[in-house]
Structure 1
Amino acid sequence: MITIVPVETKKQRAKFIDFPHDLYEGDPNYVPELFVAQDDMLNPNKHPFFKHSSLQLFLAYQGDKIVGRIAGIYNTNHNAFNNVNEGQFGFFDCINDQEVADKLFQAAEEWVKQKGANNIVGPINLTTNDSTGLLVEGFDRPPMAMMPYNFPYYQDLILQAGFEKKVDLRAYLVNKENSNKRSVMLLDKLEERLGRSGIILRQINLKDFANEAEKIKKVYNKAWDKNLGFVPMTDDEFAHTAKDLKMIVDPKYCIVAEKDNELIGFALGIPNINEIQIKIKRGRLFPTGIFKLLFGRKKIKSLRVLMLGVLDNYRKLGIEACLYGRIIKNAIPSGIEEAECSWMLDHNYLMNHAIEQINAEFYKRYRLFEKAI
C-alpha cells in the first residue's frame, strides 16, 4: 500500500533530502546535493522565496520504506509577473512504479489547486533560477553544477501521469577538441568593432562586489523578462544567490559588457564543483567532505556558463558571442578542458546561434512538462 505523507518536521525534511542518495546508489553519474544547501533552500525560515511564495513537500511510503518524493510549489511572484495562475512541481524522485508516481503527482496537484492554480508545470526545483527541467537526452555523464539529473524512466512516469511536453531546454558543451579556435580568435576583431561603438568587455571587480552585483541584478531582471517562465528575483533572493556564488566565482569567468559606464550585458561561469561533490558521500560536508571541497577546487577541469544576458537594445551586435568567447579564452590557459553553456530555451535562436558560433556541441536536452488541473 502506498501512503503519501506531507513533510512537516525537520526530521522529515532531512529524509526528503536524503532519499535520492538511496535511490541512485551505485549510479556513477549521480551527484549528491550538499545537505546544508538543500536544507537552506527548503527551510521556510531561511530562504527568501518563502517571503512571497510557498511549497509543500511530500514523501511516498510503501510500508515503512520511502519510495518517492515531490514538492508542490506555488510561486506568487511568477504568476503575477507572467499573468498566469499555475503551480509547479519539483524535487521529483521516484522508484520505477507508476502507482507511486501517480499518487505523488496527485498530492502536488491537489495542493497547488487548493492555492488556486489551474495548471501545473515542472520539474522546477523551486524557481527557474534554480535547477530546472527533466533530463531526457544525455545520460552518459554526470550533470554540471546546478543542473538536474534523473533516471531515463522518469519521463514515462510523467507522461503516463497525464503531463504533456511544454518546452525543451538545451545544454551545449565546448572543449579543447571541438572548440573552433578560429571563431574564438575572430572574436578579438569583433570586440574591437564593439569598442569603436563604445562597448567594452571587462572582468568583474570582486573588490567592489556589492556594487557589481547590484548592476548585474538590474541587467539580469531586464534581459530575461521575455524568457518562458522567468520571474525577476527580489532583492533578498538576488542577495542570497550572490552570497552563495561569491564563494566560487572566479573573475576570469564573470565578464560584463559596458557602454558609457552602464552595464548592458554580462556572462557568469562557475567552476563545476560537481567534480568534487560527486565524491562527497550523501552530500555531507562533515567530517571529510569539507576537505574534499576545499582542496579539490584547484583540480577542477570544467566550468558551467550559467548566466548570460544582454539588454534588448544591444542584441544582434555580437556581444553574446564575445562574452562566451572571452570566458572560453580565459579558461584554456587555466587548465579548464571543457565548459557547458546552459540552459537555453529550444527556440532561443539568437542565443543558440551565438553558442554554435564557437562550435559548441548540443549534448544534453532537458524538458518541462505541463498539465491542466
Structure 2
Amino acid sequence: MQNTLSTRANSLSIVPVTTKAHLSQFLKFPYDLYRGEPHWRAPLRFDRAAQINPKKNPNLKNLEIQHFLAFKNDMVVGRLSGIVNGDHLAQHDDNTGHFGFLDAQKDPEILKALFAAVEAWLKERGLSRMVGPFNLCVNEDLGLLIDGFDTPPAVAMPYGRPDTQTTIEGLGFTKAKDLLAFWTDMHAGYPREPIVEMVVKMIDTNKHYNLRPMKKGKLKAEMRLAVDIFNDAWSNNWGFLPMSTELADHMSSEMMPILIPDLFWFVEYKGKASAFILMLPNVNEATEGMDGKLLPFGWAKFIARLKFGKMKTSRILLMGVRKEFQGKRSGTAMAGALSEKTFEIARERGYTHTEMSWILEDNKSMIRIIEQAQGVAYKTYRMYEKKI
C-alpha cells in the first residue's frame, strides 16, 4: 500500500478523502447509489453533512476519522470510514477501532479494497480489532441491516442491501451483537392482559409516583434530565458511551423543529425523575420523494407534511429506567406506564404505528415489555467484529 493509502487493481482505486471535492463526493454517493430503490428513504442532506462536521457534531470531539472513496474509471463506486473513538477507548480499554459509512456497488472487490485501506489505517494507529458499522458512534445510527429489507427504515436508522452481509462475512467479519427494531401497532392488543394493567396502574395509584409530560419551554433542561437517566440506565449495556451535557444540548436544538412535547414523558419517584420516553415523528415519512433536499421548495412540503399531513408513523428514539428500578416490578411499571401514555397521545394525534429501536438482542426485560405492547421484531441490525 502506498503512503497515500491508495491502491490500484483492475482500474479500482481507494483514495483517502482529503479535499472538499472528495468530501462532497463522499456525502453524495449514497443518494446516487440507492436512488430509485423502493425502500430507500433519503436522509436530509444538510443533516448528513452536519453529522461529519466537527463544528456541528459534539460526537466528533474526541474522535479521529478518515473517510475513503473507491473509484472505478473515475466514478465513485464505494465509501467507507475508519474511526478511532477516544471516548470508546477510554471507556472500554479494548484497543478497538471502528468502521462506518459503509456503502458500495454490488461488487465484492470494492468492499474488499475499502476494508483493506481502513484496516491498514487502524493498524497504523496501533489498534488490533475492528468493530462496526458505526455512523459515527454508538449514540448515532449503527449496524448493518441483515433482516427486514421489505420495508423502509425509520428516521435515523440505516438502510441496507442483502448482498452486503455476504460480502462482509466473506472478509472474515463475525457477529459482535444484534440490534433489534420492533414495529408496533398502537391500536393492537387492547384491552391489555389483566397482569399488565395491574402493573401499569401502580404508577397511577401509588402516591410516590408522578407521570408527567415534559415541561413546555424547558426543552434543554428536560433533555439534560433525560440524558442523565439514559446514562444511568444504559451504563452496563454493550458498547455504552455516556452522553455529555454538550450532546444533550445539541440534541435539543436538533430535535426542536420536529419534537412534540406531548410525546416526551417522565416518571418521577419521590420527586426524582427516574424514567423517561421520547417519541418522535418518523421524519422519513415527511421527506419521502425529496431526495434529501429541502431547497428550493422542500421546506414548505416538509413542514406541511410534518404539521398538517396526518403522519401515521413514529419512532421511540430514547427510553430509560434508572438502574435501581431495573429487574423490579416498579421498573416494569414505569416502562409500561410511559409506553401506554405515549401510545394514547400518539393515537389521539392520528399516529397508528411506532418503531421501538434499537434494542439489544439480549435485553430480555425490555423485549418482554415491548412484546406485551404487541411489538414485533421486524428488522435486525448486526454489529460485526474482526481481529486485525
Tell me the TM-score range normalised by the shorter chain: over 0.9
Find out whether 1:89 has 2:99 as its counterpart: yes
Mapped to 1, the partners of 2:119 and 2:215 lie a distance apart of 45
Q: 1:320 aligns with which of 332, 335, 358?
A: 335
Equivalent residue for 1:201? 211
Please show how residues 174-253 of structure 1 align to structure 2 within 5 Å. 174-176=184-186, 179-183=188-192, 189-194=198-203, 195-196=205-206, 198-253=208-263
CA contact (8 A) 2:129 2:387 kept: yes
Residue 189 of structure 1: CA displacement? 4.5
Equivalent residue for 1:78? 88
Mapped to 2, the partners of 1:24 and 1:98 lie a distance apart of 17
Q: 2:300 aligns with which of 291, 304, 308?
A: 291
Mapped to 2, the partners of 1:197 and 1:160 lie a distance apart of 57
Equivalent residue for 1:341? 356
Please show how residues 5-84 of structure 1 align to structure 2 within 5 Å. 5-84=15-94
Equivalent residue for 2:387? 372
Residue 176 of structure 1: CA displacement? 4.7
User: CA distance change for structure 1 residues 59 and 333 in 2, over 3 Å: closer, same or farther?
Assistant: same
Any idea what the Cα deviations from partners look like across 1:21-64, whole Å, max 9, x if unmatched? Answer: 11112101101121111111112333222321111111100020
Please show how residues 135-150 of structure 1 align to structure 2 within 5 Å. 135-150=145-160
Equivalent residue for 2:374? 359
Residue 206 of structure 1: CA displacement? 2.6
- Counterpart code for 2:323: D
Residue 247 of structure 1: CA displacement? 1.9
- Counterpart code for 1:311: R
Equivalent residue of 1:72, what SS? strand
Find out whether 1:307 has 2:322 as its counterpart: no
CA contact (8 A) 2:98 2:134 kept: yes
CA contact (8 A) 1:187 1:322 kept: no
The alignment covers a number of residue pairs equal to 371
CA contact (8 A) 1:90 1:124 kept: yes
Find out whether 1:257 has 2:272 as its counterpart: no
Residue 246 of structure 1: CA displacement? 2.1
Mapped to 1, the partners of 2:45 and 2:225 lie a distance apart of 31
Equivalent residue of 1:307, what SS? strand
% identical equivalent positions: 34
Residue 113 of structure 1: CA displacement? 2.2
Mapped to 1, the partners of 2:373 and 2:321 lie a distance apart of 18
Residue 115 of structure 1: CA displacement? 2.3
- Counterpart code for 1:72: G
Residue 197 of structure 1: CA displacement? 5.7
Equivalent residue of 1:243, what SS? helix
Equivalent residue of 2:142, what SS? coil
Residue 370 of structure 1: CA displacement? 0.5
Mapped to 1, the partners of 2:71 and 2:194 lie a distance apart of 56
- Counterpart code for 2:297: T
Residue 313 of structure 1: CA displacement? 0.8
Structure 1: stretches of 5+ with no match in the other structure: none
Please show how residues 121-160 of structure 1 align to structure 2 within 5 Å. 121-160=131-170
Any idea what the Cα deviations from partners look like across 1:180-229, whole Å, max 9, x if unmatched? Answer: 11228976643432341612211111312222122112111111111111
- Counterpart code for 1:199: Y
Equivalent residue for 2:284? 274
Equivalent residue for 2:172? 162
- Counterpart code for 2:84: Y
> Which deviates the most, 351-360 or 325-334?
325-334
> Which deviates the most, 312-321 or 138-147?
312-321
Any idea what the Cα deviations from partners look like across 1:86-107, whole Å, max 9, x if unmatched? Answer: 1111110011111110111111
Structure 2: stretches of 5+ with no match in the other structure: 1-10
> Which deviates the most, 159-168 or 209-218?
209-218
Residue 116 of structure 1: CA displacement? 2.5
Residue 234 of structure 1: CA displacement? 2.2
If the length of structure 2 is used for normalisation, what is the TM-score?
Answer: 0.92
Mapped to 1, the partners of 2:259 and 2:35 lie a distance apart of 31
Mapped to 1, the partners of 2:353 and 2:64 lie a distance apart of 37
> Which deviates the most, 6-15 or 190-199?
190-199
Equivalent residue of 1:206, what SS? coil
> Which deviates the most, 203-212 or 28-37?
203-212
Equivalent residue for 1:102? 112
CA contact (8 A) 2:220 2:252 kept: no
Mapped to 2, the partners of 1:165 and 1:172 lie a distance apart of 20
Mapped to 1, the partners of 2:18 and 2:272 lie a distance apart of 46
Mapped to 1, the partners of 2:356 and 2:232 lie a distance apart of 20
